[in-house]
Amino acid sequence: MDRSILVVDDEERLAHSLTELLREEGYEVDFAVGGKSGMEAFARQDYRLVITDLRMPEVDGFQLIDFLARKHPATAVIVITGHATTQSAIEAIHLRVADYLTKPFEFDFLLASIEKVFAQIETEELREDMMRMISHDIKVPLNSIMGFAQFIVDRETGKVSPRAAEFAEKIVTNGQRILSLLENYLTQQRAEAGRLEVLPQPVALRETLDEAVKMVGTEFARKSIEILLECDEAVRIWNGDEHLIFRAVSNLLSNAVKYTPDGGTCRVRLFLEERDGVGPVNIIAVENTGPGISKEDKAHVFKRWHRTSETHGQEGSGLGLYVVWHVARAHGGWAECESLPGDLTTFRMVLPHKALETPSPLKRGSLSVQ
């Protein structure tokens, strides 16, 4: 879960000190000096929680809270103030502030308040995720399955429709969509709970990629997309979690088939490469022609539920690439995205070449975009 925090106070020393203490606790924290700077910070990125003082020049805490309520309603707020009054506390409650602390305060009290806020956010996100998945991501393909199933046999005559094979194929395709969605959702939940465990065993990577290609083959054929598979024999057998690798590659292929235009090309490559500072790595790359991804969107493609500006009108849960990123990290690697708008997009899973026993992340701190 995103645990980003913005500390806003007109006392720079206090804001900086609080930021450093929270970073030591594992939070992603920035600070802004004054309410105006706090508003400007949201032009650069969103934050899940804002910790703000109330009495500040130019733009005070209440003006900042009002700005957040209008422009960033999903952001929670904790107030810390050295000028507490009954009136300000009541006003903060009316503005649905998560907590109201008076200076000076014990740091442990603030930590407890922050954990409570993030627990509430996580609960709400889980509820929204389930609602989104049930109301659209599962409901649409399930309705399709039920509809095509009714057409296989004519209810009045009892005769099998001449298009039965076509209907059965669509039922299988939509069933696979539901299964894939559930698999991605469960993988996401395990990853965020820190329980995405890798069970290393010898994996025939060529065969795993073959199976993933076959699973989405109908969709590629429907759009007349040429799919090419190239495998380096040097990485044919590798120790990893076959189920997770299959899930990640299937997600990359499902993503490619959605955005490759009719008659386009998709290439799946498995090869060994020497990376500076890391050494030999195995790379699974999926390349496809299509609209490409903008520079702004590339920085967020592996985030949960992220949909790029190019995804308008496309089906999808927004979990596929998020799962790819976590599967790569669970194996000690990382994921990359390289794209030229209107030309070629490449997603890569970069995995350690040596036999995997206990996952040990390669020295790469975050996703790579080019």
pLDDT score at 63: 92
pLDDT, tens digit, for every residue of 24-73?
998 999 999 999 999 999 999 999 999 999 889 889 889 999 999 999 99
Question: What dotted CATH number matches 4-105?
Answer: 3.40.50.2300
Q: At what angle do helices 61-71 and 86-94 cross, to 10 degrees?
A: 10
Backbone angles phi, psi at 208, to 5 degrees: -65, -45
pLDDT, tens digit, for every residue of 184-203?
777 777 777 777 878 888 88
Closest CA to 112 of 98, 97, 123: 98
Percentage of the residues of the chain whose pLDDT score is greater than 70: 89
Closest CA to 338 of 304, 302, 293: 293
Structural Rg of the chain based on CA atoms? 25
pLDDT, tens digit, for every residue of 152-182?
998 888 899 999 988 898 888 788 778 877 8
Q: Which residues contact 175 (CB under 8 A, 6 or more apart)?
A: 141, 145
**pLDDT surpasses 50 at 142:** yes
DSSP string, 63-131: HHHHHHHHH-TT-EEEEEESS--HHHHHHHHHTT-SEEEESS--HHHHHHHHHHHHHHHHHHHHHHHHH
User: Could you give the strand order of the β-sheet that contains 76-81, starting from the edge strand earlier in sequence?
Assistant: 28-33, 4-9, 49-52, 76-81, 99-102
Higher-pLDDT residue of 90, 325: 325
**pLDDT surpasses 90 at 297:** no
Dig out the tokens for 295 from the structure.
């520079």
pLDDT, tens digit, for every residue of 5-20?
999 999 999 999 999 9
Higher-pLDDT residue of 366, 143: 143
Q: Domain spans of the chain?
A: 4-105, 137-192, 201-369
pLDDT score at 337: 93
pLDDT score at 306: 54
**pLDDT surpasses 60 at 310:** no
Tracing tokens 């989405």 back to the chain, one arrives at 216
The domain 201-369 is placed in CATH, from the list 3.40.50.2300, 3.40.50.150, 3.30.565.10, 1.10.357.10, at 3.30.565.10
337 residue type, one letter: C
Question: What is this structure's pTM?
Answer: 0.60
